[in-house]
Amino acid sequence: MQFMESNTWRVKVGLAEMLKGGVIMDVTSVEQARIAERAGACAVMALERVPADIRKEGGVARMASPKIIREIMAAVSIPVMAKVRIGHFAEAQVLEALEVDFIDESEVLTPADEQHHIWKHDFRVPFVCGARNLGEALRRIAEGAAMIRTKGEAGSGNIVEAVRHLRAITSEIRRLTTLRREALVHAAKELQAPLELVEWVAQHGRLPVPNFSAGGIATPADAALVMQLGAEAVFVGSGIFKSADPEQRARAIVKATTHYNDPKIVLEASEELGEAMRGIDIRQLEEKELLQTRGW
């Protein structure tokens, strides 16, 4: 793909590379942002409400107010991300003018367009997008996403959907690497993704951008699980500031993400934690309550 040669693309993916192995935390205030930075977060996501509250309170969830994002940008030295509604390129233009470091075109907010995502190549700020499978991931990359994250089921405190999405993406990638050229054409048709990207993935055995995990991570062991399943970093949304002990839990999840392959250290990180956020059994959710089905 020609866009992958451009310098703009290289510095977008370059920032995603710098976040690998780290934890990106949802924060709704300056105080939370400082706690996240102190705990070792490699970036923060500035929000008005965490997904668990969006789920509970309902209504239309939009981009956070520039005021709170600006305050958080001034308070911490690590990169600051913010979310826009799917397809809402004008919100993205506002965030670019605000100079946030990364934009998340997110299913957690109420979609603004039921057919189209943002054409992300129009922006100089890098984008991250959620995906449940390889086809969705490759469509987002074709549109210009410089980082992919699993959607999971945000605000659920339940890791099962993130695991499902991560396994789907990695096993579909593995399958592509075994196919003959002519079979890749058929695979591209099935995945509803551009053939050139399908060929790239088949040749390299990975996505052309970093692949992170999000949606339901609530404990140090959750983080270690998705990292061992091939995630390159984790996003923690409601899991930290909806728990009984945000600062301690933030530190513990950072530690478990770094040492995901060392169960003794994940054990250490898991000890002396208070109560995790209360989770939701995904099967109890109605179809219309699912956030992961938003996005096309």
Partner 1 sequence: MKVGILAVQGDFEAHAKMLTRLGVEPRFVRTVADLSGLAALILPGGESTTHLKFLLEEGLRDPIRQFAQAGGALFGTCAGAILLAREVKNPSQESLGLADLTVVRNAYGRQLASDVRFGPTRLRAQPLEMVFIRAPIIERVGLGVEVLAECDGRPVLVRDGRVLAATFHPELTDDTTVHEAFLKLARNGR
Hey, which residues are catalytic here? 83
Does the protein bind partner 1 through residue 42 (CB under 8 A)? yes
Q: Footprint of partner 1 on residues 3-22 (CB under 8 A)?
A: 7, 10-11, 14-15, 17-22
Distances (CA, A) of 290 to 107, 257, 278: 10, 27, 17
Q: Residue 37, interface with partner 1 (CB under 8 A)? A: yes
Nearer to partner 1, 140 or 255 (CB): 255
Q: Could you give the dihedral angle defined by the CA atoms of residues 96, 50, 21 and 103, in that order, rounded to the nearest 10 degrees?
A: -10
CB nearer to partner 1: pick between 79 and 157? 79
| Residues 227-286 interacting with partner 1 (rule: CB under 8 A) | 233, 254-255, 258-259, 262
Letter for the amino acid at 81? Answer: M
The least distance separating partner 1 from the CB of residue 40, rounded to whole angstroms, comes to 5
Number of residues that bind partner 1 (CB under 8 A): 35
Binding-site string for partner 1 from residue 113 to residue 142, where x marks contact by CB under 8 A and - marks none: -----------xxx----------------
Helices (H), the chain: 7-19, 30-39, 51-57, 66-75, 89-98, 134-142, 160-176, 181-191, 195-204, 220-228, 238-241, 246-258, 263-270
Q: Which of 2, 5, 57, 77 binds partner 1 (CB under 8 A)?
A: 77
Q: 284 burial class (0-12, 13-18, 19+ CB within 10 angstroms)?
A: exposed
Q: Is 100 in the site for partner 1 (CB under 8 A)?
A: yes
Q: Which two tokens stand for residue 247?
A: 């600062």
With contacts defined by CB under 8 A, name the span among 35-43, 166-174, 177-185, 279-287 that binds partner 1: 35-43
Collect all residues with Cβ–Cβ distance below 8 Å to 56 and sequence separation of at least 6: none
Residues near partner 1 (CB under 8 A) are 7, 10-11, 14-15, 17-22, 37-38, 40-43, 73, 77-79, 96, 99-102, 124-126, 233, 254-255, 258-259, 262
